[in-house]
Structure 1
Amino acid sequence: MSIPAVPTAAEPATAPADAAPTDAAASAAPTASAPQACPCCAATIDADPRFAVWCPACEWNLTPEATDAPAPKTRRGAADARRRAAATARADQLFEDLAAGRTATGGQRAWLAAAAIATAVHLTTAALCAWGLWLLVTGNTPLRCLGALVLALVVLIRPRLGRAPRGEGVLTRAEAPALYGLADRVAAELGTRPAGVIQVDTDFNASVWVAGPRRQTVLTLGLPLWEVLGEQDRVALLGHEFGHRVNGDHRRGLWLGTAIHALAHWHDLARPRGHYRDAVGLRMLFQLTDLLLGVLLGGVARLLCRVLLLLDRLTSRAGQQAEYHADTLATRVGSTEASRGLLRTLLLHRTAETAATRVRAELHSRPRAARRGRTPDPAERTSAPEAFWERLRDHLASVPPLEHERLLRRSALERGAVDTTHPPTHLRLALLDRAPAVPAAVAMTPAEAAAIAAELAPHRVRVARTLLAG
């Protein structure tokens, strides 16, 4: 499970706005384009019109969705800019240390400070619980009511151990022996516990996390990512995710991880939301109550936000180093080439969103007159999901080298990462390029790939229908 993101300025989540295709070929096959001159430097541009047209010489239109209007100068904006600059400097320094072969640790003092904050979080919860129980046992009626409220608050803010998923999207070992077998081989190669539960969902992502008092390992695979990866790239993906169980990232540990999640939950609860502003009757009383609660809870939320930012500062170096280590483990398991393919595919997450939108629009607009007046057979009912995956794979496979280059340069410009807990993707690729090539320790056989595809077939239909529904 990903560590909760510290509140920061939002990153643009939309891909370049290209014209939607009118048929299947337009959504997947490369489209020829006449060379044109860059309006900035007059260099010749020969780009695929399905993607953003940009100039590699002067980087004109590198980020087409960026606005030309300057951001308003506010104290919060200035603080966010300083925070991003500091994070960029730390990421660059860590990359230089690792590239030079220097031992780069998160720092013993930083770890001790983070552990002290986590201890304070857990002790706060324990103290509130003890106070509530004491009021219930020794207090009079009003104090017992207060004690009950305190215990209710403790239940609300308690650290969560997580719960293993059940129901839709969960595959049992009996349902998916080939997939579990591959995951077990990867886990054994890395010396970690095998997955107790495998779940598939609709995200262009994957994760390994632990749930429950028994700390059961849960592997979550996003089918949109899994389906567009090559066979050996999927092995690298499993190697990277299982690598998080052995890469020494304290933020994923029980003590610090639950404290970070608890703090993020506290911050979410404390943020004023203005629930009473539209209440009917006694409007002025509700608005006054809302104002007082907003002032009180707003101060608590700001304090919690600062603590979260401090924890992020204390643990970011060690956490990013652990991500690099997970990339190394993925390389050992799946090969260097497979790890590079995985990271290059992860750069296409916005492109995948755009492609899914295009395919959805295309499939929804297909003529239905031929099917009117009769019940479609099972093959026709599954044709749309099958077409969705086929065209999504074709579209991402046809991304030209020039677009890959744009995404790499954009990652360098924006310090692009999967989320705030990961190093910038272009730096992860650069570090892989500096290391000697490594062959795969775990290889997926064609028979194994076919068996896994058959096991995932019902979930591919379900997930495709969910994505097609928008």
Structure 2
Amino acid sequence: MPVEATRFVTWCAACDWNVDPGEPDPEPGRMEALRRRLAQRYGERLFAEVDLRPQRDASSILAHALAVLVHGVTVALAVVGVLLVVLGWGEGAVPVVGALLFAVAIALRPRFTGLPDDAPVLRRADAPRLFGLIDEIAALAGTSGVDAVVLIADANAAVTTYGIRHRRVLFIGLGFWEILTPQQRVALLGHELGHFAHGDTRHGAVTGHALRSLTLWLYFLTPDSESSLMERLTNWLLAVPRWAVHGLLRLLDRLTLRASQRAEYLADETAARAASTEAAVALMDHMLVVDAVGSALHRESVVAQSRGGGMAARREAEQGLWERLAARIHSVPEREYERLRRVSVLRGRSVDATHPPTHLRRRRLSEGEQRQAAIRCDEERAAAIAAELAAARARVAHTVIRDAAG
């Protein structure tokens, strides 16, 4: 039997026989399991709501207050540490305690991430047509564009901020971008920019940094082992603050997850307004094959390695990498997409634990108002953007082959 014939599962569309022959999803940790349960619950409730406009409800206000409290603890540790060092100088171990508290505050401080050094970063001058499209979609969404675009290999996309001034950056995973049509790329950009427009609480400066700080606190307070009496004593002494931090993290998670779910649904609507409902629904379907994208990229690197892994073999593998990936994914038949949609419903899968189940997002779009595209990306525009990305695409392809094959 040809290899291609074995790529897809044999199943029965009438009775769902063998629709989901895969291994069960791995058991998540307690925090992840809680997030998934909440995501399912909130996703189902919000699915039924007609008006999803952002609301400054009691949960959002309490989450913000809790986040301020978290940052206040860090500031208090720093201030008390400095005071103990300055005022307690010469008083035995007091300055040492102060220095320790200050060091802890520094370790737990909010961190402002920068742009990556190992990926292509594009500015407006590098890709004016791409940034022009981003600005047009952002204006439709009621927000502003981004200051930088970072190209990575992942089958994903994301927006965030960087630096102390919270400049905006868009991450485009070429593993996803390259398998989409130009209009589906408009939907992808519309969804990501919709997060800026709809105020995703979990990604805000105050709450987002508080969640990261609490996660870091929990990491420092979680015991590694208890091989000695001193380690057991230390773990016992840290039990109360550890459970307090764990409780705060669960509470902040619970307070912000509903708003995060709402933001995802609203971002989907922005995608549909920008690119059309048809393109936004097709984008959802492509989310079902991201695992296949990762496997295809790994396969490309393995093939390069099997040919000797030399420079010539790697260069050959890099050339046309994205075109081969797109061709492979485009060969997936509609019957396989239908199977994956059914598996998504059976398993209640979502992009991650902060997203509503993907099948509910798709259903809300497909059963809601059918929108026509407000922004078109025709062949000429798509070709111009592709030309702007050519050098960065080649660099990311080189990274894909080099990292896995070398």
Q: TM-score, normalised by structure 2?
A: 0.88
Q: Trace 1:285-296 onto structure 2 (pairs within 5 A).
A: 287-296=228-237
Name which of 272, 277, 284 aligns with 1:331: 272
Write the distance in 2 (CA, Å) between the matches of 1:178 and 1:167: 24
| Counterpart residue number, 2:142 | 191
Q: Does 1:428 align with 2:369?
A: no
Q: Counterpart of 2:18 in structure 1: which amino acid?
A: N
Question: Which runs of 5 or more structure 1 residues have no equivalent in the other structure?
Answer: 1-18, 32-48, 278-286
For 1:168 and 1:436, how far apart are their aligned partners in 2?
39
Q: CA deviation at 1:397?
A: 0.6
Provide the residue aligned with 2:215 in structure 1: 264
Contact 1:94 1:104 in 2 (8 A): no
Task: Give the Cα–Cα distance (whole angstroms) in 1 for the partners of residues 203 and 376 of structure 2.
Answer: 28
What aligned pairs does 1:1-400 form with structure 2 within 5 A after superposition? Answer: 26=3, 31=5, 49-66=6-23, 84-85=36-37, 87-97=39-49, 101-102=50-51, 108-141=57-90, 142-166=93-117, 168-274=119-225, 287-297=228-238, 300-366=241-307, 382-400=315-333
Q: Secondary structure at the match of 1:220?
A: strand
The corresponding residue for 1:9 is: none
Q: 1:367 to 1:66 in 2, by over 3 A?
A: closer
Following superposition, the deviation at residue 350 of structure 1 comes to: 1.2
Equivalent residue runs for 1:404-419 within 5 Å:
404-419=337-352
Deviation at 1:185, TM superposition (A): 1.9
CA distance in 2, matches of 1:238, 1:187: 9
Contact 2:120 2:151 in 1 (8 A): yes
Given that 1:88 and 1:415 are in contact with CA atoms closer than 8 Å, whether structure 2 keeps it comes out as yes
Q: Is the 8 A contact 1:114 1:315 kept in 2?
A: yes
Partner SS state of residue 125, structure 1: helix
Closer, same or farther: CA 83–359 of 1 in aligned 2, 3 Å: closer
> Match of 1:429, SS?
helix
Task: Label 1:85 to 1:220 Cα distance change in 2 as closer, same or farther (>3 A).
Answer: closer
Q: Secondary structure at the match of 2:160?
A: strand
TM-score by length of 1: 0.77
Deviation at 1:66, TM superposition (A): 2.2
CA contact (8 A) 2:123 2:148 kept: yes
Rg bigger for which structure?
Answer: 1
1:59 Cα offset (Å): 3.0
Contact 2:121/2:150 (<8 A) preserved:
yes
CA 1:333–1:209 in 2, change beyond 3 Å: closer, same or farther? same
Structure 1 vs Structure 2 CA RMSD: 2.9
Per-residue CA distance 1:146-165 (angstroms, 9 max, x = gap): 21221111111012233244
Q: In structure 2, the residue corresponding to 1:244 is in which secondary structure?
A: helix
| Contact 1:159–1:258 under 8 Å retained in 2 | yes
- Residues 243-268 of structure 1, C-alpha deviation per residue, up to 9 Å, x if partnerless? 11111322222221211121122222
Residue 270 of structure 1: how far off its partner (Å): 2.3
- 1:44 paired residue number: none
Q: Report how far residue 405 of structure 1 moved.
A: 1.4
Structure 2: state its 5+ residue gaps: none
Percent identical across equivalent pairs?
Answer: 40
**Is the Cα–Cα contact under 8 Å of residues 39 and 356 in structure 2 kept in the other structure?**
no
CA distance in 1, matches of 2:398, 2:11: 34
Q: 1:60 to 1:360 in 2, by over 3 A?
A: farther
Matched, 1:463 2:404: no
Shift of residue 94 of structure 1?
A: 1.7
The answer (yes or no) to whether the contact 1:158–1:262 under 8 Å persists in 2 is yes
Contact 2:36–2:354 under 8 Å retained in 1 = no
Distance, in Å, in 1 between the alignment partners of 2:364 and 2:129 is 32
**TM-aligned CA distance change 1:359 to 1:161, over 3 Å:** closer
Say whether the 8 Å CA contact 2:32–2:353 is kept in structure 1. Answer: no
Residue 160 and residue 422 in structure 1: after superposition, are their counterparts in 2 closer, same or farther (change >3 A)? Answer: same
Q: Is the Cα contact below 8 Å between 1:106 and 1:315 reproduced in 2?
A: no
The number of equivalent residue pairs is 400
Rounded to whole Å, the distance in 1 between the matches of 2:117 and 2:303 is 34
From the superposition, tell whether residues 290 and 457 of structure 1 become closer, same or farther in structure 2 (CA, over 3 Å). Answer: farther
